[in-house]
Amino acid sequence: MLTTDNSSPYEQFIGDDEEEEVEASTPGFFDDATKDLEPDEPNGSISPEDEVQVSPSRKFSKTCLKNVFTGVLVLIYVLLTTVAAFLAYQTISDFLEKLNNPVMSVTYKEVDSFAPPGIALFPGKARLLSCMHHYHDYIPPLVDPGKPQESNCMIQEVTYYEPFKNSTQKNALVIRGPSDVRNKEVIFMQFSHNETEEDFSAITYMLFAKYSDLTDSVNTSEFMRDCERNYSTWTFSGGFRTWVKMSLVKTSGKSNDGVEFRQESAVVKFNDRRPEPEQRNQLFFVVFEWRDPFMQEIRLIVTANPWNSGVILCGVFMALFKAANFAKLTIQWIIKIRKRHLRKKAKELNQIS
């Protein structure tokens, strides 16, 4: 009887210390669960008679229920962690994709007049007969076609070597293009070509942004070489009137800005009423005009917003950290409950023995 009385308070003291340790090191969520698992007496001690009165089936059902609840809780947090990790991966992938693939934004700016473009023509053996400015799309009837006519255009002749074939020399007639788009300013040009042994004949031309760039350049030959390297060329054929309507497109890229021309052309057959001997000289007619008073501006916009992506990632990482921390506390709680259960079993066996 003395041995039994001395060992019982010692075991109760150890049990109380363990309870205080668990309660001090676990969150309130786990405190409620541990209170349900091991009810405390008002005086803080458990008598052997009370322990013996507890039904084994009730103990088993409570333990099984708490184990199932703990397993479901761990699965839920594992699922949340997986979803958060996938969301972080998807956010980073979307940000990189938007960063590498900017969106094209197209705007139209209305203007009253354009800067006069440069029209570089490469007539070869053809001869310029006339160049006239007209307004309101009205071109008067031809008078003595095939013969030199009056001209009022600004023309500059430039000789240079081709940028891709340094041994080939080219002659270009650079004409100041139309600018008054409101009054529909047009430029009408006539060329003649007396080489009749060719099967097909055409004149090549090129457009660049500003005629003043040529006149202000120090080296006009080098300027024309750069233009031919960077701009496209087109042609118009003999025996027709080619009506070219120009539109200007400005492109703002990642590193530099560019200017290009887009054109719509219409071809009308020329009814040649000259005497048959004069028809050996083939005639070329071309008209240049602005298509409309709208300048098209294309900008490359990166839709990836680093601030939005950063906020999303911060929230995702906070969720991951919280889930990991909660999973850690859950595992610690399970281990402590398991140890307490083993201590209770050992204590019951000692009391029975």
Whether 146 maps to a domain, the answer reads: yes
Q: Who contacts 111 (Cβ-Cβ below 8 Å, separation ≥6)?
A: 181, 293, 294, 295
CA distances from 344 to 40, 59, 173, 350 (A): 14, 12, 106, 10
Low-confidence ranges of the chain (pLDDT < 50): 1-54
Residue 293 main-chain phi, psi, to 5 deg:
-85, 25
Whether 150 maps to a domain, the answer reads: yes
Condensed to tens digits (0 to 9), the pLDDT of residues 160-217 reads 988 887 778 889 999 999 999 988 999 999 999 886 666 778 899 999 989 999 999 9
The torsion defined by the Cα of 77, 79, 82 and 84, in degrees rounded to 10, comes to -70
Q: Which residues pair with 245 in a beta bridge?
A: 264, 289
Whether 30 maps to a domain, the answer reads: no
8 A C-beta contact, residue 192 and residue 201: no
Does the predicted TM-score (pTM) go above 0.85?
no
Any idea what the CATH number is for the domain that residue 138 is in?
2.60.470
Q: Give pLDDT, residue 254.
A: 64
Cα atoms in the Cβ-side hemisphere of radius 13 Å centred on 87 = 18
Whether 174 maps to a domain, the answer reads: yes
Indicate the pairing of strand 240-252 with strand 294-301: parallel
Condensed to tens digits (0 to 9), the pLDDT of residues 217-248 reads 999 999 999 988 888 899 999 889 999 999 98
Whether 53 maps to a domain, the answer reads: no
Q: Which residues pair with 103 in a beta bridge?
A: 301
Q: Give pLDDT, residue 36.
A: 45
Q: Give pLDDT, residue 92.
A: 78
Q: Give pLDDT, residue 122.
A: 93
How many domains would you assign to the chain? 1
Q: Who contacts 273 (Cβ-Cβ below 8 Å, separation ≥6)?
A: none
Whether 230 maps to a domain, the answer reads: yes
Q: Which residue range forms the structural domain that includes residue 175?
A: 112-299
Whether 62 maps to a domain, the answer reads: no
Whether 309 maps to a domain, the answer reads: no
Residue 195 main-chain phi, psi, to 5 deg:
-90, 105
